[in-house]
Structure 1
Amino acid sequence: MDVLINLFVALHIIGIAALLGGFLTQMKAMSAGTARFGPAMLHGALTMLITGMVLVGLNQADGHTLNNIKIGVKLAVLIVILGIVYVRRDEESAPKPLFGAVGGLTVANILIATLWT
């Protein structure tokens, strides 16, 4: 079971890397006002959602104690990110504050995952 959990943790990290990488590659465009939410950001957020749900199920099945408040906060932040990216995915450019909010929420989600014990 540990191998399966670690596999989904790796996939979860790949999802966050796609979301954050998509944001970071658009930083220069954001300053010019031409940043847009690319497919990598949407697919990264969806990957995080699916792998996160699988990880919760696998960890519960393995008998681990879970911090449900932490998981709920991370899920809420991810749903906000996913909603913004999904709704604005076809637009030519995203407003700077909205694009910055997605980057900030992504970093916040990483910090919640790593620092909240």
Structure 2
Amino acid sequence: MDVLINVFVGLHIIGIAALLGGFFTQMKAMGKGEARIHPSMLHGALTMLVTGVALVGLNQADDSSVNNVKIGLKLALLVVILGLTYVKRDEERLSAPLFGTVGLLTTTNIFIAVLWV
């Protein structure tokens, strides 16, 4: 079971990397007001959702304790990220504050995962 959990943790990190990497590639364009949602951002967020749900299920099946408040907060942030990336994926230009919100929420999600024990 530990190997399976570690595989899903790796896939979860790949999803985070795709979402945050897509954001970082648009940073220069964000300064000019020409940022847009890259497809990797949406796919990364979806990967995070699927692997996160799988991780919760696998940890509960392994009789490990799961912090439901932490997971609920991370899920709420991810739903907002998914909503923004899905709704705005076809727009040519996004405002800097809206696009920056995606990066801020993603970074917040990472820090919650790492720092909240």
Question: TM-score normalised to the size of structure 2?
Answer: 0.99
Query: 2:85, 2:37 → 1: CA distance?
Result: 6
Aligned Cα root-mean-square deviation (Å): 0.3
Residue 8 of structure 2 corresponds to which residue in structure 1?
8
Runs of 4+ with deviation above 4 angstroms = none
Deviation at 1:3, TM superposition (A): 0.2
Residue 26 of structure 2 corresponds to which residue in structure 1?
26
Query: 1:82, 1:93 → 2: CA distance?
Result: 18
The reply to whether residue 36 of structure 1 matches residue 36 of structure 2 is: yes
The AA in structure 2 aligned to 1:88 is K
Residue 109 of structure 1 corresponds to which residue in structure 2?
109
What does residue range 41-80 of structure 1 map to in structure 2 within 5 Å? Answer: 41-80=41-80
Query: 1:61, 1:90 → 2: CA distance?
Result: 39
Identity %: 71
The AA in structure 2 aligned to 1:99 is F
Question: TM-score normalised to the size of structure 1?
Answer: 0.99
Deviation at 1:94, TM superposition (A): 1.0
Identify unmatched segments of 5+ residues in structure 1. Answer: none
The AA in structure 1 aligned to 2:111 is L
The AA in structure 1 aligned to 2:13 is I
What does residue range 75-94 of structure 1 map to in structure 2 within 5 Å? Answer: 75-94=75-94
Deviation at 1:95, TM superposition (A): 1.1
The AA in structure 1 aligned to 2:95 is P
